[in-house]
Amino acid sequence: MRSIFTLVAAFGLSACATVPTASIRGDGLAHLGQATRVGALIVTPRAIIEDSRCPINARCIWAGRAVIRADVARAGRRKSMRLTLGERVATHGTTLALTSVEPGKMAGAQPFPRQPILFGFEGGR
């Protein structure tokens, strides 16, 4: 009787320890820490390295740039890489580009809370 109880208790505890799998978006858009499918790739933006984009309510001589660090995976192989807005890179046998960073930057004081940044990606061309 005791061995059955031990088996049931162990099974019950292992079921409780299961971690739910995070959902993967399928639209090529993702917030920091969120995964999205881009063709055969799974892309997860991890950090903003640089965001010197010109504010949308200002005039600038230089448009600036946005650079992020993202995890890029395909068929069980994962690679951490830097992606620059508008630049296409080769990875995992295909290409990947960071195509959008929204919302655009605004000059001056902003109301809080600010919307979370949404990154857009495009694959293979």
76 by Cβ neighbours in 10 Å (0-12 / 13-18 / 19+) ranks as exposed
pTM over 0.85: no
Segment 62-121, tens digit of pLDDT: 888 999 999 999 988 999 999 999 999 999 999 999 999 998 777 776 666 677 899 999
85 by Cβ neighbours in 10 Å (0-12 / 13-18 / 19+) ranks as buried
- How many residues can be counted in the chain? 125
CA–CA dist 54, 74 (Å, integer): 34
Q: Read off φ and ψ for residue 98, nearest 5 degrees.
A: -85, 115
